[in-house]
Structure 1
Amino acid sequence: MSNTFSQHLADEAQTVAMGERLCKYIKNGAVLFLHGDLGAGKTTLSRGIVQGMGHTGKVKSPTYTLVEPYELDDVSIYHFDLYRLGDPEELEYMGIRDYFSPNAICIIEWPQKGAGFIPSPDLNVEMAYDGEQRTITVSANSERGKTIVMQLGQDA
């Protein structure tokens, strides 16, 4: 059984649908690191996850706020975008550790900017350009992550 899952995403709708599919397996909490160039689909995937968990409002990019919290009936989701983070130590001042409870879903764009101040991920998600389309690769980084990737692969 592979610890990696890959899929081609033809458009924005398929990227959102992939997030909705992924949310079925992370509903009990997970830390996801989203990697990829600007415009590769990280926020679009995040929108699919948040909406798939039941959020009906807009899903905003937290580029300027660093974090957008979504408190839903069954789960807390925290969507981070660290792209504009000047110094990782700023995360300590905002109380970053308080967000990472075992049952929370923490989605982190540009995680390398928070090195040393955020926990290791359960999943590394790579979004890459494939012409006008995208490819997603989900890699497990923990036992929880391995279970999620296995379920995702069985659902393909």
Structure 2
Amino acid sequence: MEFEVYNVDTTTKLGIQLGKMLNPGDIICLTGDLGTGKTHITKGIAQGLGIYDTITSPTFTIVNEYESGRLKLNHFDVYRVSDPDEVHAIGFDDYIFSDAVSIIEWANYIEEILPEDLLHIKITKDLNKGEDYRKILLTPYGERYNYIKELKI
């Protein structure tokens, strides 16, 4: 499923709509260059889950946990991870194989330890189409993510 957005607000709105649809144990893997909007879509997902805390990218802590919504949210940023064993050391499996929603920014850095069932969101920009233009491609792996067919912005 593919969306084209032309501003940050629409990226956030897409995240909100997705967050409203998420189920316990869902795993969202985000990829894209620096500045494409991975954290913006994460903020929207958090709002869709009913989490209104300040969402920041956990670049130096690897994971932030948010418990104030309808589902717990584990927000990972593995940009600075040089070896997937670093992620395992913090109890990665306990996080992602729980009832929480897990969002992993820079998931391509730890592909070899990701489960087979996940929702991959790739965000790309094209400056020829404008500074804020983004193409957001959602690819479900596993039948549990079939609900994204209903996603609209």
TM-score, normalising length: structure 2: 0.89
Match of 1:116, SS? helix
Question: What corresponds to 2:114 in structure 1?
Answer: 118
Q: Following TM superposition, by how much is the alpha carbon of 1:15 offset from its aligned partner in structure 2, in angstroms? A: 0.7
Say which SS state the counterpart of residue 114 (structure 1) adopts. helix
2:141 aligned residue? 141
Q: Say whether the 8 Å CA contact 2:18–2:148 is kept in structure 1.
A: no
> 1:123 offset after TM fit, Å?
0.8
Q: Partners of 1:126 and 1:82 in 2: how far apart?
A: 15
Alignment equivalent of 2:11, drawn from 8, 15, 18 = 15
TM-score (norm 1): 0.88
Conserved in 2, the CA contact under 8 Å of 1:80 and 1:109? yes
| Match of residue 94, structure 1, among 90, 96, 104 | 90
| Offset, 1:55 | 1.4
1:75 aligns with 2:74: no
Equivalent residue letter for 2:147: I
1:71 deviates by 1.0
Describe the superposition over 1:118-148 as per-residue Cα deviations: whole angstroms up to 9, x where unpaired: 3234211010103211111101111112x12
Which residue number in structure 2 is paired with residue 151 of structure 1? 150
Question: Could you say which residue in structure 2 is the equivalent of 1:29?
Answer: 25
Question: Can you list the C-alpha shifts for 1:86-129, whole angstroms capped at 9, x where unaligned?
Answer: 21111121111110235321111111222333323421101010
The SS at the match of 2:148 is helix
SS at match of 2:9: helix
Q: Which amino acid aligns with 2:14?
A: M
- Structure 1 residue 49, shift from structure 2 partner: 0.4
Q: What stretches of structure 1 of length at least 5 have no aligned partner?
A: none
Amino acid at match of 2:118: D
Matched, 1:105 2:101: yes
Q: Note the C-alpha offset of 1:72.
A: 2.6
Asked whether 1:45 is paired with 2:44, we answer no
Name segments (4+ residues, structure 1) moved above 6 Å: none
Asked if the contact 1:122–1:143 (Cα under 8 Å) also holds between the matched residues in 2, the reply is no
